[in-house]
Structure 1
């Protein structure tokens, strides 16, 4: 195919020959220069002196002694100017987003050479005489957040502060430009305007050829006019009759600007040449493909490239990403047949491992460091040490992780963690401020980069991402050192995140070889035979058009500033120029709706269907997969399962309760052996909280276990002894949470301190309950007990050992009629277990009402009732559940109730209870009865096996 640049090259050779050294070719962007150079070389069979290729931005910058400042530098200076002019004291992190908006407005004013004083005067007048009704609810919400979160009733206060901004806009604008000029820098629009307003410019080249422009700002038009008056400017316009007035749709938005410019900047190419300018109506194979996800679109690439061997046409084949976030998925979907790929759009730095590494480093030094004790929280240490880049810092990171797993010390000092030089750098101690933090980050990245290079590993993405991040941090460091960036750690962190999210990593390659993967903007001036556009949805094409600005639409329109209309027209041109010379076109869009996607095809696709004369094929693309509905199925007790079941020699009350709750849960836990994961965090879940309290209660009563009687006076003294109780609580924490020896000091974090106090209060409450009960005797603490149960399984008798651990066994005197209590401590907030009969305990439908507590306590009571060592005199035994949170009631008694009657002696229920146990055990062991899923779906919500069984 003959491309637009081919016709441009032909005309240049025809008019200027092969010595093009005095010619500058000006493009909207850099990419087209390589393709034009190739076209020029192909057209001549002798050496050629190439022209100089520059962008429109280069043209302006080359004629100014100022440089364009970096975005963050520009906004830092704008922030200072804003506070000085308004008298406000907005923080940089609050101002940053608004600074970007304000800077864009200033840039637009200068690039369109508007009279700033009139714009801002009109802006001030409009807002002085109206109310806030012109603002949408969302705009009001944004303004309220910016101006310190005012309430709905404070519109007048918002307006006052709003007007302070408007009335100072011109002052901010002029003061800001002076501040930048004093540093010999400028934002782009200010530099452009200053250049065109300079009377004498020394142009280096004899001719400036402007190629493939569409929309030109006023400053660019002024530059072109000046060069034209000197006879140095020539123009090559790329358009199609379809969107121009000649033979196509009248006043089509894609031709909005070129129609205007042709009057003043005539075309060097013959506009009557249909080979150049009448292609969009030609024969084309156009397909509209709808997909239900973005990933399905990306996976379609492999089929599209291999169909009809499109990939063999190399640079004439383009994959255009209307949503550039698809790049990572697209890269992985390139088929193996493709040898050469040229990626124009950058890879998002945020999606690279170095981004997460830097964020983890910052979290380590901020949230992960306790400055008051000078130690690191192991939660954050562990997260960082598991990052793949740590291997380039130290080979001893795994040793720290292994030690932490064995000895759960949640805080460690820098000295403890500095096992070698690399870890000493990671865990260095210094005064934390944004400069020291920034320097530290660059040092760590430098170490990673050096060690990576020494290992001779080949990973271009890692090399580029490390370099890009290192450069970004270095620039921030320069701004901090110069005093341009003044911020606290919080603001610095937000800025880092914002900069990372807007930074991309360039790909290197041979641009004119292989299939082309690019964003929409990179397609300017280029033509392809095969075009696949992904995610061509409304909102992506045109790209996020909005009118976010401090300047209302009416004023922008009146003074010739950029409006939403301009942006739509620009994207319309990109869309139609991309298609005009292509013969094989596939446009894909995501038809599913979500918070970020409307599910609508681009308006330009709809327009092409209505206004064009093409036969467009519409196809739905799916993943050729049928969604599987999770189905809970019974597990048959086959020989493999029965082998495990036959090996069962003992059972606990917990196992019975799990089986009653859900037989599948029992299977996964006790037959398949899938255990619940240990708590790897330093936070306290309900299970750990309960364990700590149980341990504290055990430690408290240990001194009384050999005493004949616990007296009321003893407990009254104990409950007042804060030092004793604190030592007990700390010892319980060391045993159950920290897993450290008793002689090591604990450094609690905030949540742990709160939990510690709650457990201390619970312990005191338990003692107060026991004061009312005293005198009594402690017969056992955390005592392991067991009994034999004979069951019939598959016509054979089998003896099962029933076992468990009793929190506390005590004996109380009730008027000479003693009673032993089997006490189980409960720290939860639900004590509403209602049981009317023994059958209720073994009813699976009622297990959710904590009847499992009854099964456990009554079993323990039966074991102790018949234990001659503990109960030689055969006295009464009662099961009891002590709910600490509900023990404040007067005359609180933890003894279990059956049919609203206290169980004063478990012996009267022995036969029925043992029968229920035997029946349950025999069902579990019976080979003919499969493990069935529960019918109560609410139980699945907290089940750790729900992702397995569905």
Structure 2
């Protein structure tokens, strides 16, 4: 394969004129680097290198203006806007930036295509006048402002141009317009012959420059045209070249010098569909792993979607010794960048105290963890321990050690919504982080920090020169714009090893082997999205590029990659939904429909091997160590919750009680259901503990009702957080807790007012008792905490409080065998009867007692008594009395359950838990 650059240089080197006398103009600096490399390879004698420029640099040289980036252009535009707008009508910078970026893009297009801005904006204003939504003769102030905006566009444009011209600055389109206006002066002063190589879609300003230099015989243009496309009037690849051939006066007598026939040659083209982006990256690694070293030197991996850079780099196989990445790494994707972004976002909307998730995101950032040697963990523990949702700066600094104090000050002190202070703090943070990193081990992080340092320097210069940014929120917006446009260049040998690049970097370059990723609609081509105020019809009327021309540009880049290649892999994502997904590109269909005779096209789908995940339930055998642990549990006592956990799922019992695995301690942002239950239980314990052994009096209950708000507040401080519950879900849950306790106490009051006598016998009594199991060679005990034991009109009641909703049928049983097998139906009777067993051991039951539940969500049904249902021919008969005989029947089932838990031959078998349907 002979590359296009090689062909051009071979032609020029054969001429008598020294190569040093030429000036080469190429589409990109990357192409210029390849030209120098190829020139060094072809030159047979020493010579000074020619002047090589990208088209943007060449335009700047002609125009005599320095191009500015988008952010600087935006700041200059705001200054121009303020000069054109009365002070009372001037929008703040944040609002202005939301529409000005789009308008700058349109200014850029107007200048690049040499459009008469006055007629263009007049036409646009007329369109808006026609399109506005009112049919009334009189316009509202909103409509007046809307139409005034469109009429003022020429004024904004003129003021911005004048302002930039005074500083010898320009945005890109302005550079091209000035270059086209000053090309005559350049030609008069110029003595060098210019060689334009590899161009395709030229804007009007570039066309003017090219034509004037061709007519002055100071330039040659080498178009990379292929006859397969050039002769096809319908093919988009040569849309622009055919137009130049027809419309440029120079080509009426002098047709293009060379039209190649490279695309028709033999090619192996494989169209590969792979699900997901990561699948594409892995497949690239597989392809490269099979290539010999000499072929890798001739291979380019081209990313249609540049966000695949990191997945592809991480998927490169071991046989890739060198890789040259031409596109740079987006600084916004660097891990340390997220730290600064999070700080700016946090300070852009200060609320007095800092939200705990913002704090933990910063102090748990890997860089912060590294430089503080995890000393920041004490602050995390403080937040979890005290369940702090919002944390003051003072609290944060109190937790600071000598190593972290300055770090916490930089991150969490109030910046006063001052952009200058924000930049100063962040710059100092950069130096602080730099001082804690190892120059050898943390080279990449230090490089990212240096780039962020340069970015903050730029922000600082903008703040000094322009006074537009008045808040940290505005600063955050500009920071994101700067970061998104900033790339960190990879260093390496540019002409050896595997070439990894984006589509635009491939201009003018040719490779024997091409692997092109993300060949999907919406990527190649990019689609119809347009960030512009100018409607399609107006663009068409003024010959501005629309999505049709942009599709033709993508078509040229795509087919140029294939033009001189021999082996081509075109990879696309087969997933039709999800991020960056879609159907395969029309370019692939076009290749198949217009297949060249010598092209060998294969199309297939690759599906990664996914091992079948079996849904087998886990089985844990009882080892000697596990059995020893069970003996310890039995000696300390089985609780109702432990036994019902086993009934529900033996694997959960194994994890919680054998292994001792607890739930991870996290900040409880919204009051959890178990916390609500604890608050209500402890509040009632506080009230009823003082009445233990006494009969409840009406005045005691009425006083308790008055004390409910303060008691609930106290319980929330102890069990949830010391911070007041002022808003959101937590305030609602706080009110629910008050209502639960209030309603319960009022129910008690109504009971007494009806003439009932309630005597409190026990409150939250922790009970234990031996429970001999003859089948086991070791002692077994039971334990549990009974919420309340009272006497209602002389009848003893064992009461368990539930903050959830419980119905009467959930405390009834029919067959004793079911009580230890069905958790959902019988867990509550199981617990109630176990409390009765514990109580019976300490105070033997001589007369029938009652046991049951008071459900705070079902208070209207009162005390829900346990009942044993005996089905007979006449229907079910309920018995609510707890007697010695009934407890003996229960103990039989309880023993069976405990024997099963302790049996070494019965493993812990996981149960399939049915999920609740919503």
Do they superpose with TM above 0.5? yes
Matched-pair contact (CA < 8 Å) for 1:215–1:257: yes
Q: Does 1:762 align with 2:751?
A: no
- Aligned residue for 2:694? 708
Cα 1:446–1:833 change in 2 (3 A) is: farther
Q: CA deviation at 1:846?
A: 5.3
**In the TM superposition, what are the counterparts of 1:717-728 in structure 2 within 5 Å?**
717-721=703-707, 725-726=709-710, 728=711
Alpha carbons 1:790, 1:799 under 8 Å: kept: yes
2: CA distance, partners of 1:827 / 1:224: 82
Q: Which residue of 2 aligns with 1:146?
A: none
Q: Indicate how the Cα distance of structure 1 residues 895 and 76 shifts in structure 2: closer, same or farther if over 3 A, else same.
A: farther
Q: Hey, what's the Cα distance between the residues in 1 that align with 2:514 and 2:706?
A: 82
Cα deviation for residue 358 of structure 1 reads 1.5
SS of the residue corresponding to residue 800 of structure 2 reads: strand
**Contact 2:783/2:838 (CA < 8 Å) preserved in 1?**
no
Determine the C-alpha separation between the residues in 2 that align with 1:787 and 1:205: 108
User: How far 1:681 moved relative to its partner?
Assistant: 4.2
Please tell me whether the aligned partners of residues 539 and 546 of structure 2 are also in contact (alpha carbons under 8 angstroms): yes
2:313 counterpart of 1:338: no
Contact in 2 for aligned 1:393/1:422 (Cα 8 Å) = no
Write the distance in 1 (CA, Å) between the matches of 2:274 and 2:910: 37
> What is the CA deviation profile of residues 665-720 of structure 1, one whole-angstrom value per residue up to 9, with x for unaligned ones?
33443345443323344543222232233333333444444x63442212322332
Gap runs ≥5 in structure 2: 870-876
Q: How many angstroms does 1:114 deviate by? A: 1.4
CA distance in 1, matches of 2:864, 2:707: 26
- Confirm whether residue 351 of structure 1 aligns to residue 333 of structure 2: yes
Tell me what 1:879 maps to: 851
Q: Is residue 85–residue 171 contact of structure 1 (8 Å, CA) maintained in 2?
A: no
Cα deviation for residue 219 of structure 1 reads 0.9
Q: Is structure 2 residue 219 aligned with structure 1 residue 219?
A: no
Aligned to 2:652: 665
The answer to whether the 8 Å contact 1:61/1:67 transfers is yes
Distance 1:461 1:88, change over 3 A: farther
Q: Which of 811, 824, 827 is the aligned partner of 2:790?
A: 811
Distance 1:645 1:857 in 2: 24
Distance 2:372 2:330 in 1: 27
Match 2:408 to one of 397, 409, 423: 423
Distance 2:678 2:485 in 1: 48
Cα distance in 1 for partners of 2:698, 2:676 equals 28
**Contact in 1 for aligned 2:200/2:240 (Cα 8 Å):** yes
User: Contact (CA 8 Å) 1:25, 1:211: kept in 2 or not?
Assistant: yes
- Name the CA shift for 1:451/1:929 in 2 (closer, same or farther; >3 Å): closer
Partner of 2:365: 387
1:299 to 274, 282, 289: 282
1:139 match = none
Q: Pick one of 667, 671, 679 that aligns with 1:684.
A: 671
Contact 1:776 1:812 in 2 (8 A): yes
> C-alpha root-mean-square deviation of aligned residues, in Å?
3.7
TM-score by length of 1: 0.84
* Structure-1 residue corresponding to 2:873: none
Give the match for residue 892 of structure 2: 915
Q: 1:284 to 1:840 in 2, by over 3 A?
A: farther
Corresponding position of 2:31: 32
Q: 1:195 aligns with which of 140, 155, 179?
A: 179
Partner of 1:138: none
By how many angstroms is 1:279 displaced? 0.9
Looking at structure 2, the residues matched to 922 and 366 of structure 1 have their Cα atoms a distance apart, in angstroms, of: 62
The DSSP-based 3-state class of the residue aligned with 1:62 is: helix
**More off after superposition, 398-407 vs 518-527:** 398-407
Change (3 A) 1:878 1:456: same
Equivalent residue, structure 2, for 1:801 = 781
Which sections of structure 1, spanning at least 5 residues, go unmatched?
Answer: 134-154, 739-744, 943-950
Q: What residue in structure 2 maps to residue 786 of structure 1?
A: 768
Instruction: Say whether the 8 Å CA contact 2:323–2:498 is kept in structure 1.
Output: yes
Q: Quick one: distance in 1 between partners of 2:816 and 2:341?
A: 54
Distance 1:677 1:409, change over 3 A: closer
Compute the displacement of 1:512 (Å).
1.3
Matches of 2:481 and 2:335, distance apart in 1: 16
For residue 865 of structure 1, what is the aligned residue in structure 2? 840
CA 1:595/1:52 → structure 2, altered by over 3 Å: closer, same or farther? same
Matches of 1:17 and 1:780, distance apart in 2: 111
Instruction: Say which of 848, 853, 869 aligns to 2:824.
Output: 848
- Secondary structure class of the residue paired with 1:195: helix
Q: Which moved more, 1:391-400 or 1:650-659?
A: 391-400
- Within 2, Cα distance between the matches of 1:536 and 1:865? 77
- More displaced 10-residue stretch of structure 1: 511-520 or 656-665: 656-665
SS in 2 for 1:512: coil
Shift of 1:641: 5.6
Q: Tell me, in whole angstroms, the C-alpha distance in 1 between the residues paired with 2:203 and 2:686.
A: 80
Q: Distance in 2 between matches of 1:770 and 1:257?
A: 90
What secondary structure sits across from 2:780 in the alignment?
strand
The answer as to whether partners of 2:762 and 2:790 remain within 8 angstroms in 1 is no
Q: CA deviation at 1:108?
A: 1.0
- 1-structure distance, mates of 2:288, 2:253: 37
Select the residue among 216, 220, 224 that pairs with 1:234: 220
Matches within 5 A, 1:607-756: 607-613=590-596, 614-635=599-620, 644-645=629-630, 648-649=633-634, 650-705=637-692, 708-721=694-707, 725-726=709-710, 728-738=711-721, 746=723, 750-751=727-728, 752=730, 755-756=733-734
Residue by residue over 1:742-767, the C-alpha shift from the partner in whole angstroms, topping out at 9 and shown as x without a partner, is xxx74667455554444344333343
Q: Does 1:99 align with 2:100?
A: yes
Deviation at 1:31, TM superposition (A): 0.1
SS in 2 for 1:104: helix
State how far apart, in whole Å, the 1-side matches of 2:849 and 2:835 are: 10
Instruction: Output the CA distance in 1 between the equivalents of 2:367 and 2:883.
Output: 62
Judged with a 3 Å threshold, the aligned counterparts in structure 2 of structure 1 residues 731 and 189 are, in CA distance, closer, same or farther, namely: same
Show the 5 A alignment for 1:307-326: 307-309=290-292, 311-326=293-308
1:512 paired to 2:502: no
Q: Report if the CA contact (8 A) 1:271-1:277 is conserved.
A: no
2:812–2:829 Cα contact (<8 Å) kept: no
The whole-number CA distance in structure 1 between the counterparts of 2:374 and 2:605 is 53
Q: Displacement of 1:48 after TM fit?
A: 1.2
> For the Cα contact (< 8 Å) 2:31–2:509, is it kept in 1?
yes
CA distance in 2, matches of 1:199, 1:326: 41
Q: Distance between the aligned counterparts of 2:148 and 2:868, measured in 1? A: 74
Distance 1:877 1:497 in 2: 71
Aligned partner (choices 439, 442, 453) of residue 470 of structure 1: 453
Change (3 A) 1:747 1:14: farther
SS at match of 1:615: strand
CA distance in 2, matches of 1:451, 1:267: 68
> How much does 1:401 deviate?
4.2
Q: 2:519 matched to 1:536?
A: yes
Other structure's SS at 2:571 match: strand
The 10-residue stretch of structure 1 (157-166 or 606-615) with the greater mean CA deviation from structure 2: 157-166
CA distance in 1, matches of 2:17, 2:323: 34
Q: 2:812, 2:868 within 8 Å by CA — same for their partners in 1?
A: yes
Taking structure 1 as reference, are residues 132 and 313 closer, same or farther at Cα in structure 2, changes over 3 Å only?
farther
Look up the SS of the partner of 1:330 in the other structure: helix
Cα distance in 2 for residues equivalent to 1:686 and 1:883? 14
